[in-house]
Structure 1
Amino acid sequence: MTPQLHPTSQQRRASPEHTPRLRLKPKASRSGYVDGAWWPHTSDLSTELPDLLAVLSIRLGQIDRVLYNMGEWPISPAKLSTGGRRVRLDGYRRQPVNTIEVIGLGRDRIVLMTVPARTDPGEAHCALMRAARPEDCSTVADLLGSAQHDG
């Protein structure tokens, strides 16, 4: 008889519900307004960023800064400890709506469309997939708008 394995509480915490919901254009692709899309689980930026930055550090190396629109996220700390270093979080009123910009120490950057956390899963999936198409040059508003119609 095969023993039944029951996940420990630590294994349950690492479940897919904490995995960043992220789609990126291929690395060589530099088209459009965004490099991909991210659908956070909540609207708490400091809670959501560590997992996202861990994934993006594969492309960017060590992360230096994250730029976000102040009107879209609750107040966040000025710095976040993640990946063994402190990352600056810079909120701006003029940061394009529904985007974050992640900047590595080497000044490489990834601009992501952010799909609001409470978006319908079908609409969010459509927006993520479209934003990651290599040749898509749609604006963020167009990407989110078309997802409402397609989803």
Structure 2
Amino acid sequence: MTTAPQPPLSSRPDLRLRLAPRSGMPRPIDGAWWPRSYDLLAELPSLLSGLPRAWGHVTSVTVNGATWPAAPGRMLVSNQVVRLHRALAASAPHTVVLLAPGRGRWDLLVVPPDTTDEAAEPLMAAAASDDV
């Protein structure tokens, strides 16, 4: 029995990101991000700089307000303003939503920073799977 190779984590060793293959069909989750902390100001620049260029410039990021501590309403990333929003919806406590005008919306599963390698790997793989 052969198994399909898993998409690799980002080539940046400090960024733990796995993205699903792009297709014409919308997906509920476009991949997974495993930050090292819940410090959005420290984690977000690495995430945004590690995204594919085809995604364009992400201008808006929405995180769950119950999961992430308060952050300013905007921040400068690579000399561009990114607006930060905190949603209080209980339906998606472990997601981050990225918006790039004219390019699209991407929803990423957020693997909690304190998750072990053994527990994080299947979550990351499932979020990036072609089977979603």
TM-score band w.r.t. shorter chain? 0.7 to 0.9
Kindly provide the amino acid, as one letter, of the partner of residue 79 in structure 1.
Answer: R
Q: Amino acid of the residue matched to residue 81 of structure 1?
A: L
What residue number does 2:105 align with? 109
Rg larger in structure: 1
Q: Which residue of 2 aligns with 1:64?
A: 59
- SS in structure 1 at match of 2:108: strand
- The 5 A counterparts of 1:113-128 are 113-128=109-124
Structure 2 partner of 1:140: none
Q: Is the 8 A contact 2:56 2:103 kept in 1?
A: no
Percent identical among aligned pairs is: 33
Check the 8 A contact 1:69/1:93 in 2, yes or no: yes
Partners of 1:84 and 1:96 in 2: CA distance: 30
Q: Is the 8 A contact 1:32 1:135 kept in 2?
A: no
Give how far 1:124 is off: 0.6
Given residue 126 of structure 1, which amino acid in structure 2 is its aligned partner? Answer: P
Shift of 1:83: 1.8
Q: Deviations over 1:35-86 (max 9, x none)?
A: 1111001111111000111122523111110011000011111101002211
TM-score by length of 1: 0.73
Specify the alignment match of 2:86 in structure 1: 91
Equivalent pair of 1:69/1:92 in contact (CA under 8 Å): yes
Structure 1 unaligned residues grouped into runs of 5+: 1-14, 137-151
Unaligned regions of 5+ residues in structure 2, if any?
1-11
* Residue type of the alignment partner of 1:105: P
* Letter paired with 1:111: D
Matched, 1:100 2:70: no
Q: Aligned-pair distance for 1:30?
A: 3.6
Q: CA deviation at 1:99?
A: 0.3
| TM-score, L = length of structure 2 | 0.83
Q: Which moved more, 1:22-31 or 1:111-120?
A: 22-31
Across the two proteins, how many residue pairs are aligned to each other?
Answer: 120
